[in-house]
């Protein structure tokens, strides 16, 4: 996986295509609509034009304001590129938002990236698309530049669910409130949390429910207990009951992600693990004794197994 210099050269297979550019965090239903429109435009142009999604890594804010903490992403770059291809892109590439790139005027960005770099035959964007230094270029600017350059431009309206546009911000808010079901609706698939398995305190093992403790770099849902599908390093998946947040029964503070992989036996310390969140089972709770906690964990496991079977039956 390579992050390209946007002012150098793009892979040959990405040239002469229909292009859509954005950060595409989450690769959600709104992004899928852009790619469907790009596919339709490709077919109108004769069908030979590849559909190309161009994303940024890291987010431009990390370059412009490195002093400010960036929000946790919804998708790491590998997953984002894979998801963009799954929802309609022939090719998905990442470019670096260098200071030189971010300093280009809207006209310079258009000519150097879209014309000279990608040789775009068509461009597809949403109404809020901005480009160039200080986001000075708008869809009106892009329309004028495309008309002058003989490039087809299609504007795609936002996807509306429950009366509001689907957006990465809306998905982030759903996850931060623990509503993984709503997040999945906006994404078009379950939210996936990816991390590395690290050493825990092995408390779950003593209770009969060993857990994989994840160290994550993407957005973690709100504290609670969730049903999830765990995806092992070899691609095998199995049901999982996931606890997110502190451990009030044991007086352990802080954010933890602990997944009990139902039916799994083995050692995956130091290996990657992905969790696809299916539903929220309950709030975190403090239990009066070990027996009450174990009874609840048994119930959590059965409900997590049922949720997984409903999604994989």
pLDDT grade, residue 59 (50/70/90)?
confident
Name the pLDDT band for 190 (thresholds 50, 70, 90): very high
What's residue 251's pLDDT?
54
DSSP-based three-state secondary structure for 171: helix
From 3.30.470.20, 3.40.50.620, 2.60.200.20, 3.90.650.10, which CATH number describes the 3-158 domain? 3.40.50.620
For residue 70, the model assigns a pLDDT of 75
Confidence band of 53 (pLDDT split at 50, 70, 90): very high
Contact 153, 143 (CB under 8 A): yes
pTM over 0.85: yes
- CATH 3.40.50.620 boundaries in the chain: 3-158
The CATH homologous superfamily to which domain 190-312 belongs is Riboflavin kinase-like (2.40.30.30)
Q: What is the pLDDT of residue 279?
A: 98
pLDDT for 186 beyond 60: yes
In this prediction, residue 60 carries a pLDDT of 86
pLDDT tens for each residue of 4-33: 998 988 999 999 999 999 999 999 999 999
With bands split at pLDDT 50, 70 and 90, how would you rate the model's confidence at 302? very high
* Residues 127, 132, 134, 140, CA torsion sign: negative
Residues of the chain with CATH 2.40.30.30: 190-312
pLDDT-based confidence at residue 61 (cuts at 50, 70, 90): confident
pLDDT of 219 reads: 95
**Is the per-residue pLDDT at 43 higher than 70?**
yes
What sign does the CA torsion over 276, 281, 285, 290 have? Answer: negative
pLDDT tens digits along 192-210 = 999 999 886 666 566 779 9
- DSSP β-ladder status, 51-56 and 18-21: parallel
Percent of the chain with pLDDT over 70: 95
pLDDT at position 203, please?
A: 64
158-176 per-position pLDDT tens digit: 999 999 999 999 999 999 9
- How do residues 94-148 score in pLDDT, each as one tens digit? 999 999 999 999 999 999 999 999 999 999 999 999 999 999 999 999 999 999 9
For residue 99, what are the CA distances in angstroms to 3, 71, 104, 109, 138?
15, 20, 9, 12, 20
Q: What is the pLDDT of residues 245-283, one digit of tens each?
A: 976 655 555 688 999 999 998 889 899 999 999 999 999
* CA–CA separation, 123 and 93 (whole Å): 15
């Amino acid at each position: 996986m390579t992050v390209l210099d946007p002012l150098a050269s793009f892979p040959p297979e990405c040239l002469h295509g229909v292009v859509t550019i954005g950060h595409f965090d989450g690769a959600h239903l709104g992004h899928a609509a852009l790619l469907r429109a790009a596919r339709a435009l490709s077919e109108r142009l004769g069908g030979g034009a590849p559909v190309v999604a161009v994303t940024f890594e890291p987010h431009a804010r990390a370059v412009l304001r490195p002093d400010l903490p960036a929000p946790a992403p919804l998708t790491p770059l590998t997953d984002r590129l894979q998801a963009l291809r799954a929802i309609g892109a022939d090719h998905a590439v990442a470019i670096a938002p260098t200071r030189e790139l971010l300093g280009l005027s809207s006209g310079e960005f258009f000519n150097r990236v879209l014309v000279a770099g990608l040789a775009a035959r068509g461009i597809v964007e949403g109404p809020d698309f901005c480009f160039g230094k200080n986001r000075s270029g708008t869809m009106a600017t892009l329309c004028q530049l495309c008309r002058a350059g003989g490039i087809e431009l299609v504007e795609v309206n936002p996807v509306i669910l429950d009366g509001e546009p689907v957006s990465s911000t809306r998905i982030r808010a759903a996850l931060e409130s623990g509503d993984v079901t709503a997040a999945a609706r906006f994404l078009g698939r379950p939210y996936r949390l990816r991390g590395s398995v690290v050493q825990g305190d092995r408390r779950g093992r003593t209770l009969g429910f060993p857990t994989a403790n994840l160290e994550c770099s993407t957005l973690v849902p709100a504290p609670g207990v969730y049903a999830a599908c765990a995806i092992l390093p070899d691609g095998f998946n199995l049901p999982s009951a996931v606890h997110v947040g502190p451990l009030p029964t044991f007086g352990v503070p802080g954010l933890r992600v602990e997944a009990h992989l139902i039916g799994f036996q083995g050692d995956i310390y130091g290996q990657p693990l992905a969790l696809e969140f299916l539903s929220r089972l309950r709030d975190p709770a403090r239990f009066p004794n070990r027996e009450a906690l174990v009874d609840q964990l048994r119930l959590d496991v059965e409900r997590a197994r049922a949720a997984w079977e409903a999604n994989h039956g």
